[in-house]
Structure 1
Amino acid sequence: MGRSITVGRGFGKHTFAEAMDMTRAGDTILLEPGHYSEPRGYRVANVRMRGLGEQPSDVVLETRFQVVESGTLNLENLTMDSHAMTGNTCYITAQCTLIARGVIFETSQAWPTLAVTGGTIGLTACTVLQSDPQQNAVYSDKTSTLIISQCDIDDISVAKSKLTLQMTQVRRCLMIIDNSEVDADTLYLVNTNPRIFTFAVRTGSVFRADKLVVAEGHANAEVKDSSAVLKAANVDATHLITISQDEGSTVQVPGAIVQVDKKATSTTDGAPAKPAPSKADPQPDAPEAKDKTQDGTQTPLKTRMPAALTQLDAMIGLTQVKTEVHQFIQLAVFNRRRIEKGLPGVTQSLHSLFLGNPGTGKTTVARLVGKIMFQERVLPKDNYVEVGRADLVAENIGGTALKTKAVLDSALGGVLFIDEAYTLYQQGSTNWGQEAVDTIMQYMEDHRNELMIIFAGYTQPMQDFINMNPGIRSRTPNVFHFTDYTPAEVATIGLKQIAGKEFKVDPDYYRATVVKAYAADVDHSNGRWIRNFNDKLLRVVANNVMADPKRDDSTILKTDIDDLLGGDAQAKADTVTALLKQLDDLVGQQTVKNAIHDLVDQVRVTQKVGDKLDDNDKPTYHMVFAGDPGTGKTTVARILAKLFYNLGVLPKDTVIEVARPQLIGRYIGETEEKTSKAIRDALGGVLFVDEAYQLVTENDNQDFGQKAVETFITELENHRQDFVAIFAGYTQPMQHFLDANPGLRSRVPYTLEFQPYTPDEVAEIVNRLITRHLHVNSALLKKVVAAHYQQIPAKEQANGRWARTFAEKLVQQHKLWLVDHLDTDDVKQIQDGTVVASLSWDI
């Protein structure tokens, strides 16, 4: 039996490279959650790896594998990422095998993600992604065998191979060529792009399926010198598929539009097939050309395709952007027509600024604008290149200009989209971003009508970017303003995404829930927010379906949505009741308990009249917890966070704890940055500032503490309902803290006083701590503890902290007693003598 080799941090664990060197046949490499990188990749014979995270994305391997020597590579519950490497993510050579379960494979390189030549691949519950649409996610040749079950794959190309598909989805194209055989039970083909065949069967191949499920829209397919027999299909008025076949082929697909074409080299509307797959390793320096069809001929341009402008108009929201784009396109087309007639063109720069918050569709619109400009013959190429700072800036003198020039050349004739362009702006003596911008400015002037550059980013930071070079503003006259989506628009986007994944949901319940959740959340990241919401929702659905095998796996229930958000209204009300009982069960602090009960009642009343209140009239719940250490301030803060979450005051029940070291910087400007970061991290939940009075110490010569207080005052006002700040510390110093700035008291309306525990209360705390796991004479213990605590000087009484220390020492003394009494009948019973002896302890 082989060994288990654990990769991670800590004693007895290894680096990924060490594990790869150590492993032998039969061993298993266990990978703890984290990112592991080896750019060179590995040639492996027999290796088994399993991620120890809760999901595949918890363990990311940034490397690539080539399986050799009749070996087997077995992967489970992890992600293989080779975006930054040349070649296949996994290459399976002759007589070799890849077995993967619950694995995400992804790359954007000009190579198939998974390639097998004469070997075997078995995939179960895997995702295989290839960001380059001209490449294959899975490619096979040379009599390979593939068995793929319950997977989601961008595209598959098989040549001289046998493929079995079970309950699998293919996003772009299933290509079957060179005497291959494909058998499927239920196969989902979701591509409806007329430029790419949903499936293509060529050169003596056979395609058989029990059921074909196509996406809403109109798909195209091709069968040439081959056979495609599909027993059932979901073809109807809204799910259409046209299959082009030659006279020597057999096509049986219920409901499909079948057109006989002697040439059968394109779809019925003249759209080309997907380019042929690239070859696999081991020759990464000689990939097959992307722009050739399988027979080697040049891929023709489309003759008709859905207008990208129509797709833009169909997008949800973005009313202002749509108007601006229409005006921009009309002028560009008008200019192009005049030039074609030999008339002087109207002066127009295509370069643009896309300004707006994350998730507002900037990238999607940029891609569509590029296609529109190509379709209208304003730009010569359907070429879209997307980059960020890392793609343009080098960390050496002169390197940035060369790197930026290469990117510009790659986009020539089409669109270059520079995301988060403001990151090119930075203060300091060495500004490599400035070198990139200067290079771009010169290129824009030299290639005025051959390239459209789009600078995108947040509205405010983009102003700093624009000021970097006087030429930016004059060369980018087209400004597109992407406003945030409304909660209703976010819900509509979410419903479209759910429908696109073929799930059913009660639209009214889903919409009402999303609108309320988005409006309450501090993360207003628009499309990103709803994408993350749906991802979490579908994970809840998956877990609930797996727990109930009889349940329909394509229906999202109202209870699923409630589960995601912590339960329905009744469940949250029950949780509030339970939390208040938990609060009441704490030892002492009756005044605090009464205050929180009153606060909960106030919240409920405010919610009943909430629609009638202006935002400025809605209460803020920032507060001070004043009292000695060990009086339960942190414990109460955690209960309060959960109460606020279940009452709907806060979207999260988290508590972020900070103190002076996490807020105060060492140089000018760092304090504001650190304090703002702490507040950003806490948004949506509770920020607990322990010993807050230390922010205004008299010996703070550089006055950095005052900067933290000033930052708090601004953010407490700007985020009145977005989080709750709790400032905690001794009673008298906290009064000094509130007096440090007149704005604090008005922004922190609640003060809860935590009284020191009495000796009897400390004794009760000790008794509760002990009796969680052990037995003791509680009456004797309480009497001894109270007497002991009463003897301690008031300045040294540490309340709950003293109680915990006492309880821990009593447990230690009990264990020492057990060493000499191993024959005792009850090892959990603490002897009375041990309790009495505690009176002599120095704690």
Structure 2
Amino acid sequence: MATLRVGSGFMKLSLETAIRRAAPGDVLSLSPGAYELGILEISGLTIVGEDGPGAVRLTGKLRPHGRCVLRDVVLQAPLYDNALQLADAGAHVKVERSTIVGEQGLKYPAVWAGGGTLILDRVTIEQEGSLFTMSLTEGARLHATASELGGVELQQTHADLIDCAAHTVAALDRSRVMAYGALTLHPLPGKRAFQVVREASAEIAHLRLAGADEFEGYVEEAYLKLGAVQVADEGSLLVITKDLGRVICDSDRVTVVDQDAPAPARPKRVRWPAARAREFATFVEPQLNAGDTLVLEEGDYFFGDDPFRAFAVDVVGEGDPRRIVVYGCLGVMDDASVTIANLTVAQPEEHNAVSVPASASLTLEQVTVIPPAEAAYPSVYVDGTLTLRDSAILASDAALSGLVMVAPDARLTAERSDLGWLRCEASAARLDDCSSLQLFAIEGATVTATTHTLRANAADVYGIYATTRAKVSVSRLVVEPSEAPAVDAFTSEDASLTVAEAADGVSFALVDEGSASVSVPASNAPDEPGIAEPTGGPAGHGAAEQEDPLAEIHALTGLATVKKQVDRFVKLAVINREREQLGLKTAGVTLHSLFLGNPGTGKTTVARLLGRALHRAGVVASDRFVEVGRGDLVASVIGGTAKQTLQVLEGARGGVLFIDEAYALAQEGNTEFAQEAIDTILAYMENHRDDLVIIFAGYTDRMQQFLAMNPGLASRIPNRFDFEDYSADEISAIGTSALAASDYRLEDEELYRRIVGRSYAQSADRSNGRWVRNFNQRLIEHQVERVHELASRTADDYVLIKTEDIRALASGGAEAQVDNVEALLAKLDEMVGLAEVKDWVRMLANRVTADQRRLQIDATLSRPTYHVTFTGNPGTGKTTVARLVAQLFHALGVLSTPTVKEVDRAALVGRWIGESEAKTSQALDEAMGGVLFIDEAYDLYRPGGVGGDFGAQVIATLLPRLENDRDKFVAILAGYTDEMDQFFQANPGLRSRVPHAVHFADYSSEEVAEIVARTLAASWIVDAGLLHDAVVAVYDALPPAERANGRTARMFAEQLEGIQSNHIATSDIQGEALRVIPDHVVVAFARAYGVSLDGSATADPNAGGS
């Protein structure tokens, strides 16, 4: 075997000469550059590009015969032809670490095989705009590993795909597809992910679908078996079957629809006569199909022993709804849309009266709900969408019976209805002319009401309760009974309460425990609430005496820059007003402002205090403060936004309008109605310059998109306030002050400051004040748990936060931490092989432990860099160990989460200028607090890449984040040893930022046999010695290039199970014998690779498995 060097340098041959001289078995080593092939026939040759993948570019059609290898090249097809063509049934072609580019006319696929065997290893096939980049027919065989295949069309062929990706796979005409590892499909827009037709079959162990939310596949007169199915962003897969197409799949992400199935029955009306009121299960239910209407006459109706029934039919009463009573819980089936009308529901004691799941919608019209005297469950529970019209929940005013619970992400719309005790958590409620005993909103919930009647309650709870970023907005509030129209209201934690108008005589007893936005009619001043501690939050001790708002701003922790800006801003406004009073010309000061900064930096608090300061100085007419978001301004119908926005502007006139998260008005792809809101605001700003101060708030970078929506925005908002993030010391000060204000005392304040400062510095959550509030909440939970276990408690126990509480929160408890770490190390020890890796991980755990102890002593120390390189061949466990390392770092307190963000070149490199930076930044942001695992990281660097390469932009984006955020995440760069060395040599800045490295050695044949034995032992009984000898012999017989370590072990196990399945199907085996893999199955597995168990080869060892 000779090596012929091809190129233009000294002692090098031209490609044409080298082809002419070469004999089968020779190697052609091509220098970097471009080569024209024309139509090139080769036989038994190896063509290798020097200087790695991408440096050698071949243009033309390659037609190989015999055993040929193509490595480290780019093969470009000529116009209207294939790039690679296998026409010889005896061809055995292997392509490694190469790119094959199809022709631009899109008529011919990049690869065509009419016979022979094609092996692809780390190959990318590109042909933009083409549905099929590969076409294999008439007995050709494909074996692809870790390759991007484009579109694959198979006719009467067999394909083995190992950890591959494609945009579609079409298995036709008795083709067989076996996908091991993960098969990733990212279909072209409007195209199916896969087709299996005409007696073809496909078995996919792990299917990943990417690039969209909804996917479709097609199975016609064929067989498809799917294992795990992973769909991005909670999407789904629809598989259409036809003509006995069969799909085997247990995933809830997959829906199978048979086109040959009979059409569903037409909707009908089913009567439930009162005479058979207790025969629902036997008489009524068998008659019902989805979409039907169940009609009830006057009478009492029962469901039987189980009072819960979920409906996919409408339920309607005929007659007086007070005389049509259903005793039970009326639920809705998933994904159903149901109407229930003209009846009464008597709630069971151990159930809801009405229940709406997350994917369903329900409309109640003229429905009355009667709760029991002491209800253990809400009367109405909404997890999806509920609409009420002219309905009532007959709640008791003295006990929390008759509760309407609107769960997170659910929606309630009510018209002319009595809602009992209304509670919303992270949800939305829109009320029109309704009434209730309470309006309760937490966790960012939004309650918007037109005219609303609040009925006085005797349960000693607040009538209005809003906290944790919730918003309650009422256009007009009426209180019953009118003889004592006082409203007890509680607000805190960035909540918002707005009452635009109140009925005559209505007064408010307000308790605000800080940072809430409250706007009620000016004539109804706050009073002392003077009520006992209620359910839904304790009553406070009344509003504090009004202080100087500027002094309050200066008393806030941090915000040095903002405080100076506020001082200048107020002074300028005051002097300008005084000049105007003296008849002097003014500078035409505009007060509209931008508040820019991350969450929790006090923007809302400062805005509210600034409004009070401007009012106190006489600059604005009132201290009215109205806080709104996108949902308060933008309507869902044409023309509705301008009207809705104008109402908000008029409601804030004379005071301050605070538009929070204003950048949401510039959401991509959803700005048409938002633009209408902006135009309305601009016109109002121009016409009412002296009547209103508008503050636009949001993240600094996203607000630039908002300003770009209209050229006039930036010029009309000249004042910019920059709210910087709090430092670790400031966060600690905020935390200690908050604990003291809540009547807690720290046993060791210095320890608290150190741990809060270190935890905040390491956290990926930049929510500032909100972060420390959440930290304190968890700390108090630890304290409560400890105090609850005390046999006897003193008054000081309720107040004191001990050192052990703080340390437990910081580390999860020293004892638990040790247990977690030891468990993870034991899990590592159980893995086969990897001796060097195991030693490194233990050394890493010891170092991290020592570093953490030093940080506890001195919080000013910076955390070391733990970024690391994993090198080694495929299947050596790099990804598995990366996940374990993430859990280890989390258990040791280095990372806030054990999650691993796995990416590769395709996930980071974009297709146009700027996209790579955006995708890389997004991946880094998502990895904050955990581990970023970049597989085949060397592939980011492609010197001399065809048509320009954006991998360099990924590296440029990655470099500063590796340094600046080294204490917030750990990066693991993985890849082949030689390629990673070249990668670091080409990017010297990376080596210093990724200082650690560990090598994953190849598994020995003995270790591969052990992996196979462990895999099979979970389900099968097999002769361990025979299996060991068979796997060792087969693995040793494979060519080195085909030994993929753990991946090969997995493939061996699956092939053995396949042979065993054929044995079971063709034999009369029963009972426990079904679990036994007989010796002849193991022998057949070895024979399929040309290996006999006495060690002698019986066939070509390169023939591959069965």
Same fold by TM-score, threshold 0.5 exceeded? yes
Q: For the Cα contact (< 8 Å) 1:626–1:734, is it kept in 2? A: yes
Give, as a single letter, the amino acid of the residue that structure 1 aligns with 2:525: R
The aligned runs of 1:505-654 (5 Å cut-off) are 506=747, 508=749, 509-535=751-777, 564-604=809-849, 619-654=864-899
What displacement does 1:656 show?
0.8
- Corresponding residue of 1:657: 902
The aligned runs of 1:21-40 (5 Å cut-off) are none
Partner Cα separation in structure 2 for residue 139 and residue 327 of structure 1: 44
Q: Secondary structure at the match of 2:997?
A: strand
**Aligned CA distance change for structure 1 residues 681 and 740 (closer, same or farther; 3 Å):** same
Of residues 399, 418, 441, the one that matches 1:91 is 418
**Aligned CA distance change for structure 1 residues 21 and 395 (closer, same or farther; 3 Å):** closer
Q: Does structure 1 residue 716 correspond to structure 2 residue 962?
A: yes
1:236-273: CA deviation from partner (whole Å, max 9, x where unpaired): xxxx9xxxxxxxxxxxxxxxxxxxxxxxxxxxxxxxxx
- Corresponding residue of 2:388: 65
Partner Cα separation in structure 2 for residue 550 and residue 836 of structure 1: 71
What displacement does 1:609 show?
6.2
Q: For the Cα contact (< 8 Å) 2:658–2:695, is it kept in 1? A: yes
Q: Does structure 1 residue 455 correspond to structure 2 residue 678?
A: no
What displacement does 1:146 show?
7.3
- Corresponding residue of 2:237: none
1:39-84: CA deviation from partner (whole Å, max 9, x where unpaired): x876645699xxxxxx9xx98545443584888988679348558x
Q: Secondary structure at the match of 1:456?
A: strand
Give, as a single letter, the amino acid of the residue that structure 2 aligns with 1:91: D
**Aligned CA distance change for structure 1 residues 368 and 725 (closer, same or farther; 3 Å):** same
**Aligned CA distance change for structure 1 residues 82 and 745 (closer, same or farther; 3 Å):** same
Partner Cα separation in structure 1 for residue 452 and residue 738 of structure 2: 23
Q: Does structure 1 residue 366 correspond to structure 2 residue 607?
A: yes
- Corresponding residue of 2:407: 78
Q: Secondary structure at the match of 1:381?
A: coil
Partner Cα separation in structure 2 for residue 518 and residue 113 of structure 1: 45
**Aligned CA distance change for structure 1 residues 23 and 748 (closer, same or farther; 3 Å):** farther
Give, as a single letter, the amino acid of the residue that structure 2 aligns with 1:750: H
Q: For the Cα contact (< 8 Å) 1:129–1:137, is it kept in 2? A: no
Of residues 910, 926, 931, the one that matches 1:681 is 926
Partner Cα separation in structure 1 for residue 781 and residue 432 of structure 2: 31
Larger radius of gyration: 2
The aligned runs of 1:385-400 (5 Å cut-off) are 385-388=626-629
Partner Cα separation in structure 2 for residue 393 and residue 139 of structure 1: 27
Q: Does structure 1 residue 797 correspond to structure 2 residue 1043?
A: yes
The aligned runs of 1:209-358 (5 Å cut-off) are 217-218=541-542, 305-336=546-577, 348-358=589-599
Partner Cα separation in structure 1 for residue 743 and residue 708 of structure 2: 47
- Corresponding residue of 1:250: none
Partner Cα separation in structure 1 for residue 338 and residue 799 of structure 2: 41
- Corresponding residue of 1:692: 937
1:106-155: CA deviation from partner (whole Å, max 9, x where unpaired): 66767798616xxxx9x9x99699878999999337xxx87699999459
1:616-663: CA deviation from partner (whole Å, max 9, x where unpaired): 986433332222221111111012112223344433322111223322
Q: For the Cα contact (< 8 Å) 1:658–1:688, is it kept in 2? A: yes
Q: Secondary structure at the match of 1:745?
A: helix
Q: Secondary structure at the match of 1:492?
A: helix
- Corresponding residue of 1:671: 916
Q: Secondary structure at the match of 1:624?
A: strand
Q: For the Cα contact (< 8 Å) 1:5–1:19, is it kept in 2? A: no
What displacement does 1:694 show?
3.6
What displacement does 1:677 show?
0.8
Q: For the Cα contact (< 8 Å) 2:747–2:800, is it kept in 1? A: no
Partner Cα separation in structure 1 for residue 579 and residue 1048 of structure 2: 87
Name whichever of 436-445 and 590-599 sits farther off. 436-445
Give, as a single letter, the amino acid of the residue that structure 2 aligns with 1:747: R
Name whichever of 473-482 and 13-22 sits farther off. 13-22
1:421-443: CA deviation from partner (whole Å, max 9, x where unpaired): 45667999999877766665554
Percent identical among aligned pairs is 38
What displacement does 1:590 show?
1.6
Of residues 947, 953, 971, the one that matches 1:707 is 953
Partner Cα separation in structure 2 for residue 802 and residue 31 of structure 1: 49
What displacement does 1:829 show?
6.6
Partner Cα separation in structure 2 for residue 133 and residue 18 of structure 1: 24
Give, as a single letter, the amino acid of the residue that structure 2 aligns with 1:633: K
**Aligned CA distance change for structure 1 residues 479 and 696 (closer, same or farther; 3 Å):** closer
Which consecutive unaligned segments of at least 5 residues does structure 2 have?
Answer: 1-305, 313-331, 372-377, 396-401, 467-471, 483-487, 498-509, 519-523, 1089-1104
Q: For the Cα contact (< 8 Å) 1:624–1:726, is it kept in 2? A: yes
Name whichever of 631-640 and 428-437 sits farther off. 428-437
Partner Cα separation in structure 1 for residue 645 and residue 403 of structure 2: 41
- Corresponding residue of 1:419: 660
Q: For the Cα contact (< 8 Å) 2:627–2:659, is it kept in 1? A: yes
Of residues 106, 115, 119, the one that matches 2:436 is 115
Q: Secondary structure at the match of 1:91?
A: coil
What displacement does 1:517 show?
0.7
- Corresponding residue of 2:999: 753
- Corresponding residue of 1:379: 620
Partner Cα separation in structure 1 for residue 828 and residue 410 of structure 2: 47
Q: For the Cα contact (< 8 Å) 2:341–2:366, is it kept in 1? A: no
Q: Secondary structure at the match of 1:762?
A: helix
The aligned runs of 1:730-769 (5 Å cut-off) are 730-769=976-1015
Q: Does structure 1 residue 140 correspond to structure 2 residue 455?
A: yes
Higher relative contact order (CA 8 A, sep 6+): 1
**Aligned CA distance change for structure 1 residues 360 and 639 (closer, same or farther; 3 Å):** same
**Aligned CA distance change for structure 1 residues 367 and 659 (closer, same or farther; 3 Å):** same
Q: Secondary structure at the match of 1:626?
A: strand
Give, as a single letter, the amino acid of the residue that structure 2 aligns with 1:528: R
The aligned runs of 1:180-191 (5 Å cut-off) are none
1:651-705: CA deviation from partner (whole Å, max 9, x where unpaired): 3322111223322333332222112111110112111122334434576534133
Number of aligned residue pairs: 706
Q: Secondary structure at the match of 1:722?
A: coil
Q: For the Cα contact (< 8 Å) 1:353–1:480, is it kept in 2? A: yes
Give, as a single letter, the amino acid of the residue that structure 2 aligns with 1:568: G
Partner Cα separation in structure 1 for residue 561 and residue 666 of structure 2: 28
What displacement does 1:491 show?
2.9
What TM-score do you get using the length of structure 1 for normalisation? 0.67
What displacement does 1:577 show?
3.8
Partner Cα separation in structure 1 for residue 432 and residue 513 of structure 2: 21
In proportion to residue count, which structure has more strand? 2
Q: For the Cα contact (< 8 Å) 1:113–1:138, is it kept in 2? A: yes
Give, as a single letter, the amino acid of the residue that structure 1 aligns with 2:1008: V
What TM-score do you get using the length of structure 2 for normalisation? 0.53
What displacement does 1:750 show?
3.0
**Aligned CA distance change for structure 1 residues 87 and 80 (closer, same or farther; 3 Å):** farther
Q: For the Cα contact (< 8 Å) 2:627–2:658, is it kept in 1? A: yes
Q: For the Cα contact (< 8 Å) 2:404–2:421, is it kept in 1? A: yes
